[in-house]
Amino acid sequence: MVELNQLLLEFESNLKWEGVTKEWIERRDSWVSDVAASVNMTYLAKLLVELESNLQWESVDIQWQERRDRWVEECMGASIVQEVSSLLLELETNTNWKSVTEEWQQKREKWVQEMHKFKE
């Protein structure tokens, strides 16, 4: 479980400041601590929703607006690592390249491989 927490933190740390809300910049440090300390998948899923809720609309693909409400519902019902990892991967997949660092574009393939381990 610690691994999924770390993968969530890695994704978040590669988001550009321009792509998140001002509120996120204030909340971020305590959110990072909450994610690092989380041992509960239900809580981790709620923290994932909090991250997504602080992304600017320009940071995600246009079709995300259609998917978002259902995705949030799925997060609120998620309780096992396979569900949460799948939802995190879906959010990352719908995040625009302009909203992430150049380093992320190089790290992403390995990150996705790590994410797929949770499906096994």
Considering Cα of 35, then 50, then 114, then 96, what sign does the dihedral take? negative
What are the pLDDT digits (tens) for 39-77?
Answer: 999 999 999 999 999 999 999 999 999 999 999 999 999
Residue located via tokens 């969530």: 8
> Cα-flanking dihedrals φ and ψ of residue 55, to 5°?
-85, 140
Domain count, the chain: 1
Q: In terms of residue numbers, what domain contains 82?
A: 2-119
> Cα-flanking dihedrals φ and ψ of residue 39, to 5°?
-120, 10
- pLDDT > 90: what percent of the chain? 96
- pLDDT category at 120 given cuts 50, 70, 90 is confident
